[in-house]
Structure 1
């Protein structure tokens, strides 16, 4: 008998420590609270403490989900973790999470490093596991602590990114498809535009103990051990590739009019408003849920979906188009039947 993959639950957590626009305005006097909000659409973002990692957020999100549903932990037969801030280069953080959560040793587990398109990629992976009969209950976890990579004097990224984790349960159901029409794209020539240059095998941290601090033309200070983002190039990539990706999701049998909600990666207000106008989507169908948490990378779409559920906007039977894009360059889209 055929089985189909369906999202049946989502939970998310944010760190306790808050970085508000007021905090940022004190650090960057040339940017007041109103200017920060007008540029980003973000009021606050949460960041991990010194001794807190993305895996801690992931654990808390999974615990929240597992405590909210009627499913034994032994029934989880796969855990997939999307993170670019793992505990270690090896082993995979998903393996550590499996043990910490008390999941079965018969459970598969792996990490993947994908960033802002990661949730859509994860749904595609989960669909493959479920619909080929390899799994019935997949725990898709997205968790990032980008704040650990951000230099405190770099307002270009410090104002945007927040730390978070989300846990999404994908289960086998008898009728579907419920997650479908996947489209993917990659352009590695843009890798240099959103990157932490030091820390991997190419430029090991051990050989770069005291990286040079430099200041760019906009007054942002960082070292090559910190996150660097070329905002202009990322914007240009998004305005070019994402409308093309979006158009590829539709045909004569499935049109934009068939969609109830659009859940794009929650990058920032300027980016989302620009994309919505470029693609000509109605504002009332376009989810924007980042004011309270910032750009949470791979967790931004599941957070947006959960907030829409809590507000009664996303209900059973609705059709959602999900679109992720960013670091890599990487982009992906799919259709989700709720």
Structure 2
């Protein structure tokens, strides 16, 4: 049995934060400036009583209803989130109960952000191809808006909340997830961090994350991102990782029909596309209506590419995630 991506559905919260809303709060940033810098027009924001488990359950239910999937057919649930409802229990346990999955199904969280979808697919592949499961539900869900200081316009313009549910099934046939490559550099953890609200002060490893150094008043979590450092890291690791994915998969760049990367922001993605010399028609971007939803950007983009007819059965798509951790990963999936 080989692991294949069978289907994807996603859910975005009802509340929307537009560029017009942000420009009214920060008059020095025009609507045009925000759009040009980020490529984002709207971000969906979770309500005060809406958490990652709620988004995860909603996305999975959409998938089940659309595809006619019996929740009891799921052998294993993987929930990827960096904004869990609680320290304990795991969000996966809440989602298992909320979806009515079997009690003999496995359920676990993985705490990763922008690279999480790649890691989740790798784990699903391992579970299926080792015979531990035949059907894996991979759910990515994050509510980064709850971490963001409302006066920090640098991150408010970028991040949105959302969840995606991906069904990974074991089928007979050729390997459909190949060239899997991972990378980690914890020395860069200080560059994207939620410094407050945990058991340890974030300033222990990230002194620049202190709110008084950012002219902010602490609101509980106060997510900090060193944009230039993240940008430099991305331009450094992504091209070499693409090369390694292709090498492991035994493919050339021209063999790839579509490139779908973590949708960080349009400025960064365009730099990557040019550096990799990927034709624009092969490089899919889909973040204008949802923003950077962290672990869900890749599956949301895949679902949008399918809906628009850009991604079709039999196509090879190179997926690449990169960011908080610092962590990165990539693979090539044969679609359908």
TM-score, length-scaled by structure 2: 0.95
Gapped runs of 5+ residues in structure 1? 205-210
The Cα of 1:221 is off from its aligned counterpart by 6.4
Q: Distance in 1 between matches of 2:93 and 2:233?
A: 34
Determine the C-alpha separation between the residues in 2 that align with 1:250 and 1:59: 35
CA separation of 1:222 and 1:277: change in aligned 2, threshold 3 A: farther
Moved more, 187-196 or 62-71: 62-71
Q: Which of 40, 46, 49 in structure 1 is aligned with 2:47?
A: 49
Say what the alpha-carbon RMSD is for the aligned residues: 1.6
- Counterpart of 1:116 in 2: which secondary structure? coil
Q: Deviations over 1:248-307 (max 9, x none)?
A: 122394101110000000000111001111111111000100000100100000000000
Return the alpha-carbon distance in structure 2 between the equivalents of residues 278 and 229 of structure 1. 23
Does structure 1 retain, via aligned residues, the 8 Å contact 2:63–2:69?
no
Shift of the 76–277 alpha-carbon distance from structure 1 to 2, 3 Å rule, reads same
Q: 1:124 to 1:195 in 2, by over 3 A?
A: same
CA 1:124 to 1:329, structure 2 compared with 1: closer, same or farther past 3 Å? Answer: same
Is the Cα contact below 8 Å between 1:156 and 1:220 reproduced in 2? no
Is the 2:197–2:220 Cα contact (8 Å) retained in structure 1?
Answer: no
Q: Does 1:232 align with 2:228?
A: yes
- Runs of 4+ in structure 1 deviating by more than 3 angstroms, as ranges, are 219-224
3-state SS of the aligned residue for 1:142? strand
Q: Show the counterpart of 1:115.
A: 113
Cα deviation for residue 212 of structure 1 reads 7.7
Query: How many angstroms does 1:123 deviate by?
Result: 0.3
Matched, 1:314 2:307: no
Question: Pairwise mapping of residues 148-227 of structure 1 onto structure 2 (< 5 A)?
Answer: 148-203=146-201, 213-214=211-212, 216=214, 225-227=221-223
TM superposition score normalised by structure 1: 0.94
The match for 2:79 is 81
The answer (yes or no) to whether the contact 1:153–1:222 under 8 Å persists in 2 is: no
Q: Determine the C-alpha separation between the residues in 2 that align with 1:337 and 1:188.
A: 31
Distance in 2 between the 1:37 and 1:331 partners? 26
Of 243, 261, 265, the residue aligned with 2:258 is 261
Aligned to 1:33: 31
Between the aligned partners of 1:72 and 1:265, the Cα distance in structure 2 is 30
Distance 1:324 1:40 in 2: 18
| Contact 2:92-2:107 within 8 A present in 1 as well | yes
The structure-2 alpha-carbon separation of the partners of 1:214 and 1:128, relative to structure 1 and needing over 3 Å to count, comes to: same
Aligned to 1:87, the other structure's residue is in SS state coil
Shift, 1:203, TM fit: 3.1
- What is the Cα deviation at residue 314 of structure 1? 0.5
Q: Distance in 2 between matches of 1:161 and 1:107?
A: 33
1:30–1:128: structure 2 CA closer, same or farther, 3 Å change rule?
same
Q: How many residues align?
A: 328
Residue from 223, 244, 260 that aligns with 1:248: 244
1:19 equivalent among 17, 23, 43: 17
Say if 1:54 and 1:85, in contact at 8 Å, map to a contact too: yes
